[in-house]
Structure 1
Amino acid sequence: MKATARCPAVLIAAPASGQGKTTVTAALARLYTRKGLKVRVFKCGPDFLDPHWHQLASGAPVHQLDLWMTGEADCTQRLHAAAQEADLLLIEGVMGLFDGDPSAADLAQRFGVPVLAVVDASAMAGTFGALAFGLQHYRPGLPWAGVLANRVGSARHADMLRSGLRAPEDWLGALMRVTASADAGAARSAGALLPERHLGLVAAHELSDSQQRLDAAADALEATPLGQMATPDLQRWAVDFPAPVHLPAVPALLEGRTVAVARDAAFCFIYDANIQLLEQMGARVVFFSPLQDTVLPACDAVWLPGGYPELHTAQIAANTGMQASLRAHVAAGKALWAECGGMMALMESITLADGSTAPLWGLLPGHVTLHKRLAALGPQQVDVAGHTLRGHTFHYSTSDSSAPVVARTSRPGEAPAPAAGEALYRQGSLHASYFHAWFPSSPEAAAHLLGGVPA
């Protein structure tokens, strides 16, 4: 293994959420992939939706980087491995550049990755320069690539923004307002290129014109100085990524076991790294659709990940075959791990945002209520069989269940409290929680939830 791997890299950040960094990251990935470069994209922090777009744009797996949730050693290993095979690494930040602990800025400084700031300049002129200057100099020693003005109204507007910069070389261009046209081709002004719903962006696989939307964004970006950089120009952002220290071997805790993972429009919040870890632990992973399939595939354990069960309640309730198959699976003492949306689907009923109530599968006692505002958000950890499993929580619903609570999650650096955090329910061989787990943070805990480690 090489001691270091050198590769151009840039971290795409912003002053706040909603500035357009996901669109810019995906457009960059699509543009340089079209030019024949091998691009690898990472997402800073926990996120299931943005990676769908980045994977479609780059044609390569997208993994998360987070100095707390995934850990510095994991980040080091993934970046070094990607740098050995790629021509360009892109890291999409999270929230604002300095928001969170750890923040995107922390990651950039730890690995020496220059920051490309994306600023929604639709309602500013000279202040754009002040904002760019502040982002660059707020923290001494922050690696810096430059600034891209997003959602710009005209060429004259772009000139006003550029003239406000103290360092002209920081200007990476102006990206005009773009969206997909009715024929999913040309770029036009106004609207949102990547549509959103209550949990974030609509996943790329849910839209028939996703590739055309990405091409429209890439076409718009190609007209900027950033988009016109040739392969040799990218070397100004070359970074030496260190090789990881010796990492312990992944224990074969699921050797010989088959894990069935739900994956469809209702259950789609899956970290690729989680699937990778299951296979490294010896599991055979098979996928199924709780919406379409009427029986489980032959398996030893089931994982119901999060997603959008609230958008598919009629189909879930109507699939009595899958309901019976899941019930028989648990009755046989086989492990079932359900997180967030997966847990919601196992409850008895749900009250939707419009006030109507719909039945669910009823494997867990209790009721779910969907709200119009966030109910919980942030990094979390939980003790599972004596091992600490890290992850996060992000949901718009609340639940009321009489199922036994065997643990509660806590925030980083805090001890669990009886009435705080997310409940980890256990009923027989079924574990369920709003908590989204990052399996590599504790292979032992992940294997326990899937029946691979004795209680």
Structure 2
Amino acid sequence: MSAVVVMLSGLASGQGKTSVTAALALAVRARGRRVVVFKLGPDFIDPMVLERASGGPVFNLDDRMVGLAESRHRVVQAAAQADLVLIEGAMGLYDGPPSSASLARALGVPVVVLVDAGSMAQTFGAVVHGLASYGAARGEPVTVLGAVANRVASAGHAAMLLESLPPGCPLLAAVPRVATTLPERHLGLSSEAVAQVDEALQALAQAMQTPPNSDCIDRLLALPAWQPPAASGDAVWPAPPATLAGRRIAVARDAAFRFIYPANLACLEAMGASIEFFSPLNDEPVPASAHALWLPGGYPELFAEQLAAAGQWRASVQAWVAEGRPVLAECGGMMALADGLTLVNGQRHAMAGVLVGEVRMQTRLAALGVQTMQPGAQTEALHPAMRGHTFHFSTMSTPLQPTGQCQRLDGSAGEPWWRFGPTGKGVASYFHAYFPSSPMHTAALLGAAP
């Protein structure tokens, strides 16, 4: 094990964790060194930017949806092939559960604290000191290596921030404001945002390699190599059974259907499946050679007019469902199969019309959190529930009776899910499934025999 492993966390959301983590990754690559990046929690959007910077897939880690054992395994794998492993935390350091602090402790990973210092001076040191000492005061210490100040106005400002820090807590970087910023979070990496993302990341990475930050990367790479906790060992993570061997899975992937965990694709391939991507937005039909269809989440509401006009796509999915073939439609994928989608401005667009119901967008969050799902009686008795999460701003109104109900972690009722189509092989829900949590349920959802 030779890699340095560091978590970047901080005061709250909106401090610039994704920007700075991505800039660090790009700067490390510019040195010719190997970097792997992870994201804490069930997030689809930040990993798009982090992948752009790191040049590799960005897997999620946490102790609820992913599970602590798999999270440890993935970091062990990454540490064996990289010089630096960066983990971007979620929200503030102690926000949760799960919190960035709790995962850092469980993985034995030190933390670099990031604070947006754009509107503060000496209070920066007080905030960093509080974040560093709060865990110890509660009997749950976190190892803080140092601090990064974001949106620093000048060299004089950086000097004040450095002077304010408590002894033993270095200022690893003072990241200046840059003219180009990352696009709004909900845009993710849509085609129109790629140029802006690349420009912003290059500017930030350059800032990480010029005074006063010239030695930041060297200081990180000079840290002691990570030693995995004894509980994780070097055990090989069990490969899933090859229950999808020989099956081709059609997967919608474009700007409207972009919420895909890399771990889900890796799980399907490890189970023996081949994956065939297609784009409903480009009016591509469901690949006729596929055995099952997966419609992941995304932003169909941003492209509702284009989806409504995609006649070839709509006809192909209508024929697919009419033939009783397997479909897994998650959140945005489910929205695209409904009769209609009404935007917040009241404009309605016809969708594929294979799932009876109407979807309506709203400005407030409808549901958020990790949940579990038992897809059916055939697999329920033999295998644990599938884990996943939900996050959506729309509601689904349908006369269909739910086939089942997901559960929140406190045991209360979560998202409903429905079977549809003449054979009941279509499954739709707002629930985003994390396939590695239950490969057997995954296979069943995609039409393979349990």
* TM-score scaled by length of structure 2: 0.92
SS at match of 1:240: coil
Correspondence for 1:250: 240
TM-superposition CA deviations, 1:356-412 (whole Å, max 9, x none) = 222111111111111122111111111122141111111111111123311222222
Asked if 1:274 corresponds to 2:268, the answer is no
Query: Of 222, 229, 238, which aligns to 2:209?
Result: 222
Q: What is the match of residue 359 of structure 2? A: 368
Of 199, 202, 221, which aligns to 1:234?
221
Q: Partner of 2:171 in structure 1?
A: 171
Any conservation in 2 of the 1:251–1:281 contact (CA below 8 Å)? Answer: yes
How far, CA to CA, are the matches of 1:294 and 1:113 in structure 2? 45
Gaps of 5+ in 1: 181-192
Q: Secondary structure at the match of 1:174?
A: strand
Q: Percent identity?
A: 47
Report the more deviating stretch, 266-275 or 48-57: 48-57
Return the alpha-carbon distance in structure 2 between the equivalents of residues 232 and 15 of structure 1: 23
Per the TM alignment, residue 157 of structure 1 is displaced from its structure 2 partner at its CA by 2.1
SS at match of 1:217: helix
Which one of the candidate residues 7, 29, 34 is aligned to 1:33?
29
Distance in 1, matches of 2:415 and 2:215, equals 47
Aligned AA (1:223): T
Alpha-carbon deviation of 1:38?
Answer: 0.6
Greater Cα offset, 242-251 or 422-431: 242-251
The amino acid across from 1:375 in the alignment is: A
Evaluate the alpha carbon distance shift between residue 227 and residue 201 of structure 1 in structure 2; reply closer, same or farther with a 3 A threshold: farther
1:106-121 matches, cutoff 5 A: 106-121=102-117
Matched, 1:264 2:254: yes
1: CA distance, partners of 2:10 / 2:188: 17
C-alpha contact (below 8 Å) 2:182/2:196 kept by paired residues: no
Name the residue aligned to 2:78: 82
- Report the Cα distance in structure 2 between the residues aligned to 1:207 and 1:245, rounded to whole angstroms: 39
Q: Secondary structure of the residue that 1:306 maps to in structure 2?
A: coil
1:288 matches 2:278: yes
Distance 1:233 1:364 in 2: 52
Corresponding residue for residue 355 of structure 1? 346
State the alpha-carbon separation in 1 of the partners of residues 374 and 212 from structure 2: 49
Of 375-384 and 262-271, more deviation after overlay is shown by 375-384
Instruction: Give the conservation status (yes or no) of the 8 Å contact 1:175–1:224.
Output: no
2:299: which partner in 1?
A: 308
Query: Residues 269-418 of structure 1: matches in 2 within 5 Å?
Result: 269-297=259-287, 298-385=289-376, 386=380, 387-412=384-409, 414-417=410-413
CA distance in 1 between partners of 2:213 and 2:157 (Å): 18
**Bigger mean CA deviation after superposition, 5-14 or 226-235:** 226-235
How far, CA to CA, are the matches of 1:380 and 1:34 in structure 2?
A: 40
User: SS of the counterpart of 1:426?
Assistant: strand
Q: Are the aligned partners of 1:444 and 1:453 in contact in 2 as well (CA < 8 Å)?
A: no
Alignment of 1:426 with 2:416, yes or no, is: no
In structure 2, runs of 5+ residues without a counterpart are: none
Residue 176 (structure 1) shift: 1.2
**Structure 2 match to 1:184:** none
Q: Distance in 2 between matches of 1:392 and 1:237?
A: 35
8 Å contact kept, 2:340–2:358: yes
CA 1:204–1:66 in 2, change beyond 3 Å: closer, same or farther?
A: farther
Q: Per the alignment, in what secondary structure is the counterpart of residue 318 of structure 2?
A: helix
2:45 matches 1:45: no
- Give the CA deviation at 1:267: 0.3
State which drifts further: 403-412 or 7-16.
Answer: 403-412
Q: Deviations over 1:319-369 (max 9, x none)?
A: 122112112212222110010110111111122122222211111111111
How far is 1:168 from its partner?
Answer: 5.7
**Number of residue-to-residue matches in the alignment:** 433
Which string of whole-angstrom CA distances, capped at 9 and with x for unpartnered residues, describes residues 179-198 of structure 1? 32xxxxxxxxxxxx11115x
